[in-house]
Amino acid sequence: MPISRLKTSIAVVTALAAVLLIAACGGGGSGGEAKKGGTLKVLDTAGSIDSLDPGYWYYQSDYQEVGFTTQRWLYGWKPSETKPTPDIAQALPKQSNGGKTVTVKIKSGIKYSAPLQSRTVKAADIKYALERCFLPQVGNGYANLYYSDIKGVAAFKSGKAKEISGIQAPDAQTLVINTDKPAGVLTGGGALGMPCTIPVPKDYAQKYDQGKQSTYGQHQVFTGPYMIQNDGKGKITGYKPSQKLVLVRNPSWDKASDFKPAYFDRINITCCSDATVAAKQTLSGQNLLSGDYAAPPTPVLKQALKRTKDQLSITSSGGNRYISLNTTVKPLDNVNVRRAIAAVIDKTALRQTRGGPTLGTISTHFFPPGADGFEEGGGTKGPGFDFMSSETSNVALAKSYMKKAGYSSGKYNGPALLTIADNVSPAKETAEAFQEQVKAIGLDLQFREVPHATMLTKFCQVPKAKVAICPNLGWGADFFSAQSLIAPLFSGENIVPSGNVNTAQVNDPQLNAKINAAKQVTDPTKAAKAWAELDKDVTSQAYFIPWLWDNNVSLESSNAKGVPSKFNSGAFDYAFSALK
Amino acid sequence: MAAPVLEVEDLEVDFATEDGVVHAVGGISLSVAPGRMLGIVGESGSGKSVSMLTVMGLTRAENATISGSARLEGRDILTLPTDELRAIRGNDIAMIFQDPLSSLHPLYKVGWQLVEAIQTHQDVSKSAARARAIELLQMVGIPDPKGRVDNYPHEFSGGMRQRAMIAMALTNDPKVLIADEPTTALDVTVQAQILDLIARLQQERDMAVVLITHDLGVVAEHADEIAVMYAGKVVERGPATVIFDAPEHPYTWGLLRSIPRLDRTRGEPLVPIPGRPPSLIALPGGCSFNPRCPYVLDRHRRVEPELEPVNDQNDHSVACLLQPSTRRQLWAELREGKLPETARESVALKDTV
Amino acid sequence: MVRYIIRRLLWVVVLLFLVSFITFLIFYALPSADPATLRAGRSPNPQLVEQIRHNLGLDKSLPHQYFDYMKRLVLHFDFGYSYQNNISVKQQILDRLPASISVAIGSAIVFLITGIGVGIISAIRRRSLLDRATMGLSLVSISAPVYWLGLVSLYLFASDIGKFPVPFLKGAGSYVPFSQDPSIWFQSLLLPWFVLAASFSALYARLLRANLIETMSEDYIRTARAKGLSERRVVFRHGVRSAINPIVTAAGLDLGVLLGGTILVETVFNIPGIGRLAYDSIQNSDLPMIQGTVLIGALFIIVANLIVDIMYAFLDPRVRYS
């Protein structure tokens, strides 16, 4: 999952926060007695969800506010677990045919909300849900990453086929997926624990999937414990974009087959509060939990740490922050220059710009804690590269790398390097600190600050823009998958003209081959090893300089118990949270 | 002659300003009787307007020091409490001003402003007040008063505006009308009409009028008495005929010589008074007029002249240090059209002390 | 007058056209985010981006895009659909208009009453302690940032998070439409009204004070006093009547600006109005929404200008239009 939502950048940038060491409130069962019932109030600060369409959901607030609460997925995620839990599925997927066939049995008796209240979920509904994720009308952002190995996807995308031949529903309870080559993300079930597996009844939905953009979201039917308030005839009434979202109990919900407790009777989400005000209101009010993934502003956080520490939930977000160095721009094509930059930056000082140790642990390698392969890649200690081992600036080491790169004085003396930074606090301050630090090795930056979305879509993610350094990037894993951390960012096959997340523009045939091989490893232990090896490779090459493993800071009212979801970067899972 | 309706005695007005104390009016005494017109003549800054504004109570301010008295029918209005003063203003004593355009409220209809003046002092209905307003406009000679009553000041001509101002001042049949340069802002042709109107109304209503002007010509025709003011003081006072025929003060001579007159030979130069009025903060020693006086002697710079009667009737006074005989000689020379310098020489004016 | 109004109305159309054109140009001239990539998710395939680009009509030439937009706008009064959530721009603006109108008109009432009141008192009690105190205070409130003032007022008085909670001063996010509950509507808007009005009140008080002091030295004020009017009547019917004209004009224009949305107040107090919508749409590079909010804001300002000009003819009989 992207470490910050691309779309709403206001609070998001301020969002990611603090430390796994303080993972005080992890897990479901800890803390006070959970009470059934009551109304939960949530104050969003960053714009709430962007779309009602399950096929679109991909961001923290999507999962938090509608994904976990209103729909059941083929596989779900218990808050404190890093492995998928069968939800609509009866059990974890079975693989055969050398990992190229995945079979999932689904539960019977799961019903839709009105107007389809008499209809149960069938395997074909999930097949259609997966297919529509490739429709441009839906605008899904990850199907291509995880499902493109499925047979027939290419033909479907090009419009030559009406269905994806590799997805079959031989009967109502069986879903069979055939791939061209083994795909670890499917056999492990991880990629089947994504909102593309939320069942969508084709005969009902197809009429809404026509035209320029799908309107199924506004007419969708729900399978989860809650539903967005609607008129019972297939029209949603409880949603006003960037204003309010009202969730009520779904009478069709099959509680017996679901693992979610769903304590609240009703969830009222209002957007868009000022972050400072919302934090105050949550801390001093009743029935409130943090909303869309915005960390409280530093002054509020400091005060809360002093006075109301038990109302803070600080957990590792499973994401990292890094400085991206474009390997196609001189002198960054030289690995020793990149290493020199890694050695010269003062990560502690960079973290200070975000608010200090509460907001995260200093990275020693690329994989963030919680991701598959993190331990194998060296854990917190890291693989031990000298340029990554100091938490502060090591100018002598940096200069020695510069000498190795051919700069005899230890200082760069070429033209200024185009650097595009975020223009909002605290990212802006981070970038400015970076700019100061690299002066020690003579690096002169052509420094520009632009809005977050512009930074990404017009500069850092556009190869043509030839940006040398992007100091304000971040990334997190989808479903803890190591593949999701490596493949999109470092595979040369993924360099695209726009929306390019391989911002270093790494295109090393050897690395590409290694990535493709790792993707096909279906044994979880072997896969972790393979990906950890890649983690070491990319860290060693210093394409990106990771500097912070982020923490998420959430707030709760004194009478509310929020349960952070590891899957969702530490944001509260409202289906597990409750009043005390 | 009837007893004076307005008697001003020893009126002094000082204003404290950042630059110092301005001695705007330096102790003047004047009076005017019903049916009579007093002309006060002087350059701007001579204190003629300030003295009359003070009589109206319009200079009352924190920085003003006022002494002396101004009795209206025997009652000193300078010391009246504000609400009693208000009851008299616009009622027993009224005033009109120099620029009728800026003196009328630009955003209210003329009729409205008249009605307001009526209703302030009379307990009459709005419609009655309006009827009276039309009557008043008619009286001051505004054509089509019924239509004009709903006009705004900017829709009136200059003369009509001043007529309207007069109508407003006369609303409540005042005993005294103070007219402060009422014609200065008007065309020459209109000036005479307005003065005639004031004179007519004065006669009809047996009203006392104080006409303030810088131009002796304006008062020539109608004023019964004239007071000439210079630097906050009355320097000469007397019946109008005497002032024109036998003026005694060099300043008055200067004023008279600066009036264009039909009986004067063509080509004879108009002789303005050279120099400028003195600063009222630091008055020159002795006679205030000495820096500009062509007949000045050393002594005049040290001794301050008093206003003293020059004849037995006691109706003509002057404040001048020249010998009466010398003054008459000089005036005789000037009447013949001689220039002041020539006059001075022929009289062989010399310091005798 | 009628011809004048018609001519001005035609200008309104021309101006709005220009505004839309300039907005369009700015959007493409300045580095704003690419809407298609924004919608496509974290690691999109190029086909998807292109298809989204096509669906949004962004693959056409700029003049073509602008022409399409204007055609729909002129022929169907259709502002298009948000790139962000695919909901009609017109619908979203209409939906949020009542909130912005509530904030704007309420605060205008507050700032007119307080500004005029304070201005008159300061002018007639010039150089008094009261005058010095209020003028000093007004300098503070002119320079106090609205955002800061909003936060402070919430921290001090809001019924939910205030240090000295006042029950009828509802906190941020409590706004409901008037039609739903007038009482809560009123209570939720009290703080925003005063916070937004603070700097305007101060500005208007200072403006009126200066005007009134000047007016009180006019000849016609002397005339009014000479008429024997009470000082009260002199000040209010004669002095204030003249001094207030520029205030009415300024208030009309300010109201026009406020109606177009008040970003900071709407943000601090979480009121779903046009200002916040505009801000979000800029953040999201949501061109149709940017266009919609800019046009509605421009419309308010231009129409407010027109109304003020017409009103001026009634306020000041010397003004004539032809």
Structure ipTM: 0.87
Is the pair B, C in contact (3+ CB pairs within 8 Å)?
yes
pLDDT category of residue C283 using cuts at 50, 70 and 90? confident
Regarding predicted confidence, which is higher, A293 or A385? Answer: A385
Give the residue-averaged pLDDT of C239-253: 91
Average predicted confidence (pLDDT) for chain C: 88
Determine contact, residues C165/C157, Cβ cutoff 8 Å. yes
pLDDT category of residue A25 using cuts at 50, 70 and 90? very low
The predicted pLDDT at position B91 comes to 92
Q: Is C223 on the interface with B (CB under 8 A)?
A: yes
Does residue A27 register a pLDDT over 60? no
| Residues C284, A243: C-beta atoms closer than 8 Å | no
| Residues C42, A1: C-beta atoms closer than 8 Å | yes
The predicted pLDDT at position B144 comes to 93
| Residues A141, C85: C-beta atoms closer than 8 Å | no
Share of residues in chain C with pLDDT > 70 (%): 98
| Residues A142, C284: C-beta atoms closer than 8 Å | no
Question: Hey, of A63, A210, A243, A452, which one would you mutate to test binding to chain C, going by the most C CBs within 10 A of its CB?
Answer: A243
| Residues A273, C160: C-beta atoms closer than 8 Å | no
Name every chain A residue with its beta carbon within 8 A of the beta carbon of C284: 7-8, 47, 453
Region for residue C41 given its phi and psi (left: phi exceeds 0; alpha: psi -120 to 50; beta: otherwise): left
List chains adjacent to chain B, taking adjacency as at least 3 C-beta pairs closer than 8 Å.
Answer: C
What single DSSP character describes residue A495?
Answer: -
> A with C: how many residue pairs have Cβ under 8 Å apart?
165
Does residue A451 register a pLDDT over 90? no
Is the pair A, B in contact (3+ CB pairs within 8 Å)?
no
The predicted pLDDT at position A4 comes to 42
| Residues C226, B89: C-beta atoms closer than 8 Å | yes
The candidate with the shortest Cα–Cα distance to C262, out of C117, C101, C116, is C101
The predicted pLDDT at position A30 comes to 44
The candidate with the shortest Cα–Cα distance to B82, out of B120, B51, B56, B64, is B56
Give the residue-averaged pLDDT of A31-39: 79
Reported as a single tens digit per residue, the pLDDT across A98-107 is: 999 999 999 9
Does residue A557 register a pLDDT over 80? yes
Amino acid making up residue C211 = N
The predicted pLDDT at position C2 comes to 83
Q: What does B275-311 look like in DSSP terms, one character per residue? A: S-PPPSSSPPSSSTTTTT-TT--GGGGTSPP--EE-S
What single DSSP character describes residue A198?
Answer: S
Regarding predicted confidence, which is higher, A51 or A263? Answer: A263
| Residues C44, A141: C-beta atoms closer than 8 Å | yes
Q: How far is C243 from chain B (nearest CA, A)?
A: 11
| Residues C267, A212: C-beta atoms closer than 8 Å | no
Does residue A207 register a pLDDT over 90? yes
* Separation CA A361–CA B245 (nearest Å): 110
The candidate with the shortest Cα–Cα distance to C144, out of C194, C110, C102, C187, is C194
Name every chain C residue with its beta carbon within 8 A of the beta carbon of B161: none
The predicted pLDDT at position A418 comes to 95
| Residues C231, B82: C-beta atoms closer than 8 Å | yes
Reported as a single tens digit per residue, the pLDDT across A224-271 is: 999 999 999 989 999 988 888 999 999 999 999 999 999 999 999 998
pLDDT category of residue B310 using cuts at 50, 70 and 90? confident
Contacts of A212 (CB under 8 A, 6+ apart): A137, C55, C56
Question: Hey, of C223, C229, C233, C244, which one would you mutate to test binding to chain B, going by the most B CBs within 10 A of its CB?
Answer: C223
| Residues A280, C36: C-beta atoms closer than 8 Å | no
Region for residue B144 given its phi and psi (left: phi exceeds 0; alpha: psi -120 to 50; beta: otherwise): left
**Three-state secondary structure call for residue B81:** coil
Residue of chain C minimizing CA distance to A244 = C272
Q: Which two tokens stand for residue A173?
A: 């309870």
Give the residue-averaged pLDDT of C201-208: 93
Reported as a single tens digit per residue, the pLDDT across B18-48 is: 989 999 999 999 999 999 999 999 988 889 9
Does residue C117 register a pLDDT over 90? yes
Average predicted confidence (pLDDT) for chain B: 89
List chains adjacent to chain A, taking adjacency as at least 3 C-beta pairs closer than 8 Å.
Answer: C
| Residues B90, C228: C-beta atoms closer than 8 Å | yes
The candidate with the shortest Cα–Cα distance to A120, out of A110, A130, A128, is A110
The predicted pLDDT at position B276 comes to 84
Residue of chain A minimizing CA distance to C81 = A213
Determine contact, residues A478/A378, Cβ cutoff 8 Å. no
The predicted pLDDT at position B353 comes to 45
The predicted pLDDT at position A28 comes to 39
Sign of CA dihedral C215, C220, C222, C226: negative
**Three-state secondary structure call for residue B120:** helix
The predicted pLDDT at position A54 comes to 95
Interface of A with C in 453-512 (CB under 8 A): 453-454, 456-459, 461-462, 488, 494, 496-499, 501
Cβ-based neighbour number of residue C77 at 10 Å: 8
Residue of chain A minimizing CA distance to C46 = A496
With residue C104 as reference, give the H or E element that holds it.
helix C89-124
Kindly list the distances between the CA atom of residue C110 and the CA atoms of A15, C193, C203, C237, in Å, as whole numbers in the listed order. 37, 7, 13, 22
* Separation CA B256–CA A4 (nearest Å): 94
Share of residues in chain A with pLDDT > 90 (%): 67
| Residues A457, C39: C-beta atoms closer than 8 Å | no
pLDDT category of residue A2 using cuts at 50, 70 and 90? very low
Does residue B53 register a pLDDT over 60? yes
Reported as a single tens digit per residue, the pLDDT across A337-368 is: 999 999 999 999 999 888 888 889 999 999 99
pLDDT category of residue C99 using cuts at 50, 70 and 90? very high
The residue written with tokens 């020695």 in the block is A400
Average predicted confidence (pLDDT) for chain A: 89
The closest CB to that of C226, out of B58, B106, B108, belongs to B58
Name every chain B residue with its beta carbon within 8 A of the beta carbon of C312: none
Does residue A12 register a pLDDT over 60? no
The predicted pLDDT at position A21 comes to 29
Reported as a single tens digit per residue, the pLDDT across A168-179 is: 999 999 999 999
| Residues C228, B86: C-beta atoms closer than 8 Å | yes
Give the residue-averaged pLDDT of C53-75: 84
Does residue A520 register a pLDDT over 60? yes
| Residues C82, A454: C-beta atoms closer than 8 Å | no
Q: Is A8 on the interface with C (CB under 8 A)?
A: yes
Q: Is C284 on the interface with B (CB under 8 A)?
A: no
**Three-state secondary structure call for residue B244:** helix
Interface of A with C in 553-572 (CB under 8 A): none
The helix, strand and coil proportions of chain B, stated in percent and rounded to the nearest 5, come to 35, 20, 45
The closest CB to that of C161, out of A270, A281, A453, belongs to A281
The closest CB to that of A139, out of C40, C46, C285, belongs to C40
Exposure on the CB side of residue B228, measured as CA atoms within 13 A: 30
Question: Hey, of B92, B103, B178, which one would you mutate to test binding to chain C, going by the most C CBs within 10 A of its CB?
Answer: B103
The predicted pLDDT at position B109 comes to 94
Cis peptide before A115 (omega within 30 of 0): yes
Burial of A329 (0-12, 13-18, 19+ CB in 10 A): middle
Contacts of A412 (CB under 8 A, 6+ apart): A331, A337, A402, A441, A442, A443, A444
Q: Is C313 on the interface with B (CB under 8 A)?
A: no
| Per-residue exposure over A493-509, b if at least 16 CB sit within 10 Å of its own CB, e if not | ebbbebbbbbbbbbbbe
pLDDT category of residue C5 using cuts at 50, 70 and 90? confident
With residue A490 as reference, give the H or E element that holds it.
helix A482-490
pLDDT category of residue A576 using cuts at 50, 70 and 90? very high
Residue of chain C minimizing CA distance to B117 = C227
The predicted pLDDT at position A22 comes to 31
The closest CB to that of B102, out of C218, C237, C238, belongs to C218
Is the pair C, A in contact (3+ CB pairs within 8 Å)?
yes
Contacts of B88 (CB under 8 A, 6+ apart): B72, B77, B80, C228
Q: Which of A213-222, A244-253, A378-387, C25-34 has the lowest mean pLDDT?
A: C25-34
Name every chain A residue with its beta carbon within 8 A of the beta carbon of C161: 277, 280-281, 284-285
Strand partners, B238: B226
Q: Which of A7-11, A491-495, B345-349 has the lowest mean pLDDT?
A: A7-11
**Three-state secondary structure call for residue A50:** coil
Name every chain B residue with its beta carbon within 8 A of the beta carbon of C315: 107
The predicted pLDDT at position A14 comes to 28
The predicted pLDDT at position C127 comes to 83
Q: Which two tokens stand for residue A554?
A: 């959430």
Determine contact, residues A543/A504, Cβ cutoff 8 Å. yes
Regarding predicted confidence, which is higher, B60 or A168? Answer: A168
Share of residues in chain B with pLDDT > 70 (%): 95
Question: Hey, of A1, A5, A7, A57, which one would you mutate to test binding to chain C, going by the most C CBs within 10 A of its CB?
Answer: A7
Q: Which of A72-81, C39-48, C235-244 has the lowest mean pLDDT?
A: C39-48
Does residue B352 register a pLDDT over 70? no
Q: Is A251 on the interface with C (CB under 8 A)?
A: no
Reported as a single tens digit per residue, the pLDDT across A405-430 is: 999 999 999 999 999 999 887 889 99
Contacts of C128 (CB under 8 A, 6+ apart): none
Phi, psi of A321, rounded to the nearest 5 degrees: -115, 140
The predicted pLDDT at position A344 comes to 95
The closest CB to that of A8, out of C40, C268, C283, belongs to C283
Kindly list the distances between the CA atom of residue C96 and the CA atoms of A212, A353, C86, C208, C302, in Å, as whole numbers in the listed order. 26, 37, 17, 33, 20
| Per-residue exposure over B41-80, b if at least 16 CB sit within 10 Å of its own CB, e if not | bbbebbbbbbbbbbbbbbbeeeeeebebbbbbbeeebbeb
Does residue A141 register a pLDDT over 50? yes
Does residue A442 register a pLDDT over 80? yes
| Residues C42, A501: C-beta atoms closer than 8 Å | yes
Name every chain C residue with its beta carbon within 8 A of the beta carbon of B99: 219
| Residues A242, C86: C-beta atoms closer than 8 Å | no
* Separation CA A104–CA A92 (nearest Å): 7
Residue of chain B minimizing CA distance to C215 = B105
Contacts of C314 (CB under 8 A, 6+ apart): none
Strand partners, B20: B17
The predicted pLDDT at position B257 comes to 78
pLDDT category of residue A132 using cuts at 50, 70 and 90? very high
* Separation CA A293–CA C98 (nearest Å): 29
| Residues A141, C84: C-beta atoms closer than 8 Å | no
Name every chain B residue with its beta carbon within 8 A of the beta carbon of C213: none
The predicted pLDDT at position B266 comes to 53
Sign of CA dihedral B346, B347, B350, B352: positive
Q: Which two tokens stand for residue C208?
A: 């009126």
The predicted pLDDT at position A18 comes to 27
Regarding predicted confidence, which is higher, A4 or C206? Answer: C206
Checking DSSP bridges between strand A244-249 and strand B317-318, what pairing results, if any?
unpaired
Question: Hey, of B50, B107, B168, which one would you mutate to test binding to chain C, going by the most C CBs within 10 A of its CB?
Answer: B107
